[in-house]
Structure 1
Amino acid sequence: MDSSLSLSVCIPAYSMGGMGAKYLRVSLDILAKQTFRNFEVIVADQSDDSHIADLCSSYADMTIRHLDTRHLKRQSSANTNAAINAAQNEIVKILFQDDFLNGDDAITQIAHAFAEPEVKWVVTGSEHTRDGHTLIRPFVPKFHDRIQFGKNTISSPSVLALRREKAPSFDEALIWLMDVDFYKQCALRFGPPKILRKPLVVNRQHASQVSESVSRARVRQELRHVRRKYAAHMSWGDWLHYVGRLRRSLL
């Protein structure tokens, strides 16, 4: 592996109903044990208390930059963009605060995937947890050309890493489709991702997830937004797929 590779782990954070700092501590503890050491952590914090800031300052042996992003739009797209824009290293690794890496060598394996310069973005396998300990439902990602319409075959942005140069931005008009739209942007810009089948990330399932609270009206609004955005790239099959997704949102 190229020893000069460096990573920025970008974590969008907020209070999350009082659970934000608790979830983040789990993730930071795992990051502190990583065998790969050439990385920084950027925590973009939209919480209205000091719990996350105080937590970040308690990790003296790890480079953590805490950003106060309360002035930005209060949603994941804007907050994740702020973290990415603050990144200083070559590779950006997204990690949502309620998720965590799976194993002490997770970043080593992700960094190794970028050893070839032609690799621009990487997605890894994942597992899920409800209690933070028991791992269930291993998932191997794959990309498909209609992913922007919501059939997410990759998983959350926590499985994503990409080269910072020419990286797209998350669309701040989107909440429900923010992840799949970003994957479509990456594919149009860089081609398909390199896939690591091993579950290097654990996605936490809980009632506060955005997917649990998105209204059908919001779903339709975002589907129409994405359709307009990619109209120039759409085949007749894409249009039929879009109409089918839109129709299901009405049921």
Structure 2
Amino acid sequence: MDSFLRLSVCIPAYSMGGMGAQYLKTSLDILGQQEFRDFEVVVADQSDDNSIAELCLSYENMSVRHLDTRHLKRQGSANTNAAIEAAQGEIIKVLFQDDFLNGNDALTKIAGAFDDPEVHWIVTGSEHTRDGQTLIRPFVPHFHSRIQFGKNTISSPSVLALRRAHAPKFDEVLIWLMDVDYYKQCSLCFGLPKVLLEPLVVNRQHSGQVSASVSRALVRRELRYVRQKYAAHMSWGDWWHYIGRLRRTFL
């Protein structure tokens, strides 16, 4: 492996109701068509069969590394951390297996944003799809200081890229708030993100998404956890915002 590898695409994967390998194939096919070539793909796999492992072996036109992470906690934060820890690129590009890049120049634009040494993390615009073909609801991300409480104005971690050096870990206590908590961590480490307005990622919407099965009890538990985690950084306005978010889980 080239020690000066520019970028690692980190994909946490699992069976996803039997659709995991199919979704991942779509994403890998698009990665194989990227005009930017100085990258590897790291797939951290928690699926219960060999379909994803076999799929990864079939891609000879790019560097795809398959990690068996079934021994880890079965959740997205732990699996994403495993992919990031195995990555060797200067830049980490997170990409969830059911999402995919938008355009063959997406990695060129993402990597190019880091030509500025002052840029430590970026988020990009996104679009959404239900059928993998039709793109709807373009979304431009922005950060706000209370994002850790669940009002996600950035989108999924698939829009995220950051320098591997000093990259924080996803909090493995969290499920529902794992993404917004990570954006808060990055803001405290690096300041505000650079925003690429162009929709360089497509987020797939489907019934198998984790967010579709989150209980109110879990939401309350995670809200209280992040409140304790960031108590030292909270203003009175933050406290009122937290109370309002918590109150809605009882209605």
Q: Please indicate the TM-score interval, normalised by the length of the shorter structure.
A: over 0.9
Q: Report if aligned partners of 1:21, 1:52 keep a CA contact under 8 Å in 2.
A: yes
- CA shift for structure 1 position 82: 0.1
- Structure 2 distance, partners of 1:112, 1:61, is 23
- CA shift for structure 1 position 156: 0.1
CA RMSD of aligned residues (A): 0.7
Which residue is 2:51 aligned to?
51
Unaligned stretches of 5+ residues in structure 2: none
- Structure 1 distance, partners of 2:209, 2:21, is 16
Which residue is 2:76 aligned to?
76
> What SS class does the counterpart of residue 246 from structure 1 fall into?
helix
- Structure 2 distance, partners of 1:204, 1:57, is 24
Which residue is 1:152 aligned to?
152
Q: Report if aligned partners of 1:187, 1:193 keep a CA contact under 8 Å in 2.
A: yes
- Structure 2 distance, partners of 1:106, 1:172, is 29
- Structure 2 distance, partners of 1:16, 1:80, is 15
2:52 is equivalent to residue 23 of structure 1: no
Question: Residue deviations 1:161-198, cap 9 Å, x none?
Answer: 00000000000000000000000000000000000000
**Runs of 4 or more above 2 Å deviation:** none
Structure 1 letter corresponding to 2:61: D
Which residue is 1:243 aligned to?
243
Which residue is 2:183 aligned to?
183
Question: Residue deviations 1:43-90, cap 9 Å, x none?
Answer: 000011000000000001110000000000000000000000000010
2:187 is equivalent to residue 168 of structure 1: no
- Structure 2 distance, partners of 1:75, 1:40, is 23
> What SS class does the counterpart of residue 65 from structure 1 fall into?
strand
Unaligned stretches of 5+ residues in structure 1: none
Which residue is 1:203 aligned to?
203
> What SS class does the counterpart of residue 137 from structure 2 fall into?
strand
Q: Report if aligned partners of 1:5, 1:111 keep a CA contact under 8 Å in 2.
A: no
- The count of corresponding residues between Structure 1 and Structure 2 is 248
Q: Report if aligned partners of 1:21, 1:55 keep a CA contact under 8 Å in 2.
A: yes
Query: Under a length normalisation based on structure 1, what TM-score does the superposition of the two structures give?
Result: 0.98
2:200 is equivalent to residue 227 of structure 1: no
Q: Report if aligned partners of 1:12, 1:80 keep a CA contact under 8 Å in 2.
A: yes
Q: Report if aligned partners of 1:9, 1:93 keep a CA contact under 8 Å in 2.
A: yes
Task: Among all aligned residue pairs of Structure 1 and Structure 2, give the percentage whose two residues are the same amino acid.
Answer: 77
Query: Under a length normalisation based on structure 2, what TM-score does the superposition of the two structures give?
Result: 0.98
- CA shift for structure 1 position 5: 6.7
- Structure 2 distance, partners of 1:240, 1:5, is 45
- CA shift for structure 1 position 24: 0.2
- Structure 1 distance, partners of 2:65, 2:217, is 37
